[in-house]
Structure 1
Amino acid sequence: MPRTLFLIGAASLALALPAAAQEVPEDLTVMPPVSDAYRPSLTSWGEPDLRGSWPINDIADLPVNRPERYGDRFWKTAEEMAAEQGKVDALEEAYEVEDEQSTIGLGHWIEYQAGVRRTSMVVSPADGRLPEWTDEGRRRSALMRSSWLIGQTYDWTDDFDSYDRCITRGFPAAMYPARYNNGLRIFQSPGQVAIVIEMLGTRIIPVGEGGHWPEAVTGWYGSSRGRWVDHNTLEVETTNLTTGASVFSNGTLGVPANNTTPVSEQAKVVERFTMVGPDTITYEMTYEDPVVWTAPFTLRVNWTRDDDYQMFEYACHEGNVQLRGYITSDRARREQEYARGLMLEPVGENAGPPPAMDPAAGGLKRRED
Structure 2
Amino acid sequence: MRAPVLLAALAAVALAPVPGMAQEADLTVVPPAPTDYKAKTTSWGEPDLRGGWPIDHLNGRTPLQRDPAQGNRAYLTEEEFAQRDQAVQQLAKRYENEDSQGTMGIGHWAEVANANRRTSWITSPANGRLPEYTAEGKRLSGEMKSTWRRNQPFNWVDDFDSWDRCITRGLPASMFPFMYNNGRRIFQSPGLVALQMEMVHETRMIPTDGRPGIPVQMHNWMGESRGHWETGNTLVVETTNFRPGPSATNIGTTGSPPENDTPVSEQAKMVERFTMTGPDTIIYEFTWTDPVVFTQPWSARLEWQRDDDFGIFEYACHEGNVQIRNYINASRAERAQATQPASGGSR
TM bucket normalised to smaller: 0.7 to 0.9
Change (3 A) 1:117 1:246: farther
User: Could you tell me which residue of structure 1 aligns to residue 298 of structure 2?
Assistant: 297
Q: How does 1:9-158 map to 2 (within 5 A)?
A: 10-11=1-2, 18=10, 22-25=18-21, 26-60=25-59, 61-94=61-94, 106-158=106-158
Change (3 A) 1:148 1:98: closer
Q: Is the 8 A contact 2:172 2:251 kept in 1?
A: no
Q: How does 1:1-369 map to 2 (within 5 A)?
A: 10-11=1-2, 18=10, 22-25=18-21, 26-60=25-59, 61-94=61-94, 106-200=106-200, 201-244=202-245, 245-250=247-252, 252-340=253-341
- Cα distance, 1:247 vs structure 2: 4.1
Change (3 A) 1:145 1:248: closer
2: CA distance, partners of 1:88 / 1:11: 17
Q: More displaced, 271-280 or 70-79?
A: 70-79
Classify the secondary structure of the residue corresponding to 2:73.
coil
2: CA distance, partners of 1:278 / 1:82: 30
- Cα distance, 1:306 vs structure 2: 1.0
User: Could you tell me which residue of structure 2 aligns to residue 366 of structure 1?
Assistant: none
2: CA distance, partners of 1:313 / 1:12: 16
- Paired AA for residue 50 in structure 1: L
- Cα distance, 1:172 vs structure 2: 1.2
Q: Is the 8 A contact 1:274 1:282 kept in 2?
A: yes
- Cα distance, 1:79 vs structure 2: 2.9
2: CA distance, partners of 1:189 / 1:98: 45
Bigger relative contact order (CA 8 A; separation at least 6) = 1
Change (3 A) 1:102 1:328: closer
Q: Is the 8 A contact 1:87 1:114 kept in 2?
A: no
Classify the secondary structure of the residue corresponding to 2:259.
helix
**Structure 1: which 5+ residue stretches go unaligned?**
1-9, 342-369
2: CA distance, partners of 1:185 / 1:102: 35
1: CA distance, partners of 2:89 / 2:160: 38
Classify the secondary structure of the residue corresponding to 2:339.
helix
Classify the secondary structure of the residue corresponding to 2:10.
coil
Change (3 A) 1:82 1:229: same
Change (3 A) 1:13 1:82: closer
Q: Is the 8 A contact 1:162 1:168 kept in 2?
A: yes
- Paired AA for residue 259 in structure 1: N
Classify the secondary structure of the residue corresponding to 1:18.
helix
Q: Is the 8 A contact 2:5 2:112 kept in 1?
A: no
> For the aligned residues, what is the CA RMSD?
2.5
Q: Is the 8 A contact 2:4 2:110 kept in 1?
A: no
**Structure 2: which 5+ residue stretches go unaligned?**
343-347
Change (3 A) 1:83 1:24: farther
- Cα distance, 1:300 vs structure 2: 0.6
Q: Tell me how many residue pairs correspond in the alignment.
A: 331
Change (3 A) 1:192 1:292: same
- Cα distance, 1:209 vs structure 2: 0.9
2: CA distance, partners of 1:117 / 1:13: 20
Change (3 A) 1:212 1:101: farther
Change (3 A) 1:92 1:335: closer
2: CA distance, partners of 1:240 / 1:275: 27
Change (3 A) 1:103 1:283: farther
- Paired AA for residue 44 in structure 2: W
The C-alpha deviation readout for 1:4-34, integer Å capped at 9, x for no partner, is xxxxxx3587877528565153111212211
2: CA distance, partners of 1:208 / 1:100: 55
Classify the secondary structure of the residue corresponding to 1:274.
strand
Change (3 A) 1:103 1:190: farther
- Paired AA for residue 211 in structure 2: G
The C-alpha deviation readout for 1:102-158, integer Å capped at 9, x for no partner, is 997644521121321111111111111111000100101111111111232211111
- Paired AA for residue 190 in structure 2: P
User: Could you tell me which residue of structure 2 aligns to residue 355 of structure 1?
Assistant: none
Change (3 A) 1:309 1:296: same
User: Could you tell me which residue of structure 2 aligns to residue 365 of structure 1?
Assistant: none
- Paired AA for residue 48 in structure 2: D
Q: Is the 8 A contact 1:246 1:259 kept in 2?
A: no
- Paired AA for residue 280 in structure 1: T
- Paired AA for residue 19 in structure 2: E
User: Could you tell me which residue of structure 2 aligns to residue 367 of structure 1?
Assistant: none
1: CA distance, partners of 2:167 / 2:3: 20
1: CA distance, partners of 2:87 / 2:258: 24
- Paired AA for residue 308 in structure 1: D
TM-score, structure 2 normalization? 0.88
